[in-house]
Amino acid sequence: MAREIYQAITDGILVGGVYALMAVGLTLIFGVLDIINIAQGIMVILGAYLSYELAARLHIDLFLGLLVTVPAMFVIGVVIQYAFIRPLRGRERMSMTLLVSYAVALIIEGILYETFGADDRQLSAWYVTSSVHVFGFYLPYIYLFGFALALLLVAALYALLYRTGFGRSVRATMQDETAARLVGIDTNRVAAITFGVGVAVTAAGGMVYGATNSFNPNSGYDLISRLLAIIILGGLGSIGGALAASIFMLTLESLVDIWQPTWAIVVFYAALVIVLVIRPTGFFGRQPVRAQ
């Protein structure tokens, strides 16, 4: 029993790292643009399909392929922001942007169904099938590599945000958009690039997700609902909160999975509801959600 629990905790932390990567993109987009990008889930799946195509047709290694898919997703993100998110203004902007991103998700889902069909796919490589023996556990390499990649990218995002001039303007825009504009920050450009970066990291998340799970165009719904639960729990707009909440939630889920496999995912949402009843700002939310 104890062994199973250790294994579940290890799995939860490793998978949580990958979810953190996707959730950080989502929470960053929220922080800067004040929108919830419902399309984030399907973007992850799109990233997985892109990696799949590169691997299947051109025999490019999954991790090397990221050099292509990450910039591609960045461009897609910037285009979506420019074409559909930027024109929205006015009182209903919040709900409008939500629905627009939902519509974008539908379109991408439809295109994926048209192109790839509804069959389940999974990415394959040597590190997906073979595992390493550590402290008596068998861990597939992909979990370790994925976790390392997630750490690397989250660290890179952190450096971008806290160690560069661009990061400073992003943080300024998060704090107060009007004031940021007053001191000469091009908030439109910041918004476009942030959206692009937030979407670009899903390419990496999608690759690891696609290697550790089978996926089809419908998988986006399950993903986005988990990601939303994670970023709300971590406190909207809080990057550290997204990290902590991903690891907490995924560990919790894999622990419950030992006893109750069918109900494990409910724990996810139940935890969200319980936490919000006690603390409406999430774990790390600075400003109260009510007063936004």
Q: State the residues that interact with another protein by CB under 8 A.
A: 30, 36, 84, 87-88, 90, 92, 94-96, 98-100, 102-107, 109-111, 113-114, 221, 225, 228-229, 232, 236, 262-263, 265-266, 269-270, 272-273, 276-277, 280, 289-290, 292
Contact between 177 and 190 (Cβ < 8 Å)? no
CB of 157 to another protein, least distance (A): 21
- Indicate the residue among 183 and 277 with the shorter CB distance to another protein: 277
Instruction: Report the nearest approach of another protein to the CB of residue 1 (Å).
Output: 24
- Our CB check for another protein shows the closer of 146 and 237 to be 237
Residues 6+ apart with CB under 8 A from 130: 140, 141
CA–CA dist 102, 200 (Å, integer): 18
**For helices 2-33 and 40-58, angle between their N-to-C axes, nearest 10 degrees:** 110
Write down the least CB distance from residue 165 to another protein, Å: 29
**Strands (E) located in the chain:** 131-134, 137-140
Task: Fill in the amino acid letter for 251.
Answer: T
Comparing CB distances to another protein, the nearer of 72 and 270 is: 270
Instruction: Tell me whether residue 32 or residue 128 sits nearer to another protein (CB atom).
Output: 32
User: Residues with Cβ < 8 Å from 60, sequence gap 6 or more?
Assistant: 54, 68
Listed residue (144, 203, 146, 191) closest to 166, CA to CA? 191
Tokens of residue 52, six digits: 């799949």
Placement of tokens 């909160």 in the chain: 241
Cα–Cα dist 238/215, whole Å: 29
Residues paired with 121 in a beta bridge: 215
Give the nearest distance from C-beta 34 to another protein in angstroms. 8
Residue number, 139 or 289, with CB nearest to another protein: 289
Cα separations in angstroms, 64 against 13, 61, 225: 24, 5, 29
Q: How far is the CB of 242 from another protein (least distance, A)?
A: 14
Decide whether 211 or 231 has the Cβ nearer to another protein: 231
State the Cα–Cα distance between residues 67 and 13, nearest whole angstrom: 26
Between strands 131-134 and 137-140, the pairing is: antiparallel
Which lies closer to another protein via its Cβ, residue 179 or residue 274? Answer: 274
SS3 category, 96:
helix
Of the two residues 37 and 202, which places its CB atom closer to another protein in the complex?
A: 37
Q: How far is the CB of 289 from another protein (least distance, A)?
A: 5
Residues 284 and 238 sit within 8 Å (Cβ to Cβ): yes
**Closest CB 40 distance from another protein, rounded Å:** 12
